Structure 1
Amino acid sequence: VKIRDTVILSGRVDSVTRDVYRRGVTLSLSGRDDAAILVDCAAPVFSARQLNLDEVIASIVRPLGITRIRIQASDMTRNDRIHIEPGERAWDTLARAAAARGVWPWLDPDGTLVIGGPDYSSPPVADLILRRDGRGNNLISLSDMRNIQGCFSELILLAQSHASTTDNQKLKLKPVD
């Protein structure tokens, strides 16, 4: 997305919706920034490994197509390693590796992955104004949707007993609340 010659957002379009009305047509695009690939894909690590931030960038972030990376932290003294499990999301791996060095990842509007800390001395880029009475709002449209689909609990029971010929009775299980 550009305004004049300035890139204000780069990313991927997830959905395109066209609504046709009696008096016109509305085209809506919905998507995410370039971090979507890190959220959607598992870290391409096939065995549990200990990696530091530089290794995570080289073996997980770059292979997923993010090539513009800027480290924006002058005094990162820690270089802790993190344990990565197969199937872990690439973004979660990157966030944990960055946190192990005391920084955080985010993407600039042009798609550059920045790893560092916030600059609290710079002024806010913009103010979004949304008042219930509608006066002075600079927000054109807002949709708030809350959804609990995909939320679940996982319960894993592990048990062990010794095998013997004298204890061939069925186990008595009792449900608990």
Structure 2
Amino acid sequence: MDDKKKHILKAAMRVVIAYGFKRVSMADIAQEAGISRPAIYQIFRNKDDVFFSCLDMLVDEAFAAADAAIDGISDRKAQVSAYLLAYMGYFHNLLVAGPHGQELLDVNNRLGAEKSQAAQARFMTRLNGLMGLDAEAEDGQVLALAATGIKYHTADPAQFRARLQMLTERFL
């Protein structure tokens, strides 16, 4: 992704997190990015297109954070736990802890369901790999689904981390 596009997407995320998707206009994104509205339209067709690109960026950032979290960890159980916490924690901080989390989830379900399903499948495959299992094993799916439930139903960050730790301690 080129620097200009990434700059616009970062600006878009800042205003969407602050004000919600519905209230944000392309003019708001342009102002936050410090560029003109026509400059944004040279890269993106509309606000939904910006949202789709934001999803791609966020998923890439979440996987990068999760990969970085396990760097230097050799114990398999500790790797899975750190990976799960970093990946799920990235989205927990963004969606659950934020003031417009429910709205963003609704928009994601309406516009980005396929992208989210692909990311979830990639995440499950990665968990299976960390556990030393075949990519298609059901263990990664069960762990990811349980962690997703914890993510959406635990608002307090400390409790979220404790519950994910408990999940990995009991599951692995």
User: Which bin holds the TM-score, normalised by the shorter protein?
Assistant: under 0.3
Q: Which one has the largest radius of gyration?
A: 1
Structure with greater proportional helix content: 2
Give the TM-score, by structure 1 length: 0.25
TM-score (norm 2): 0.25
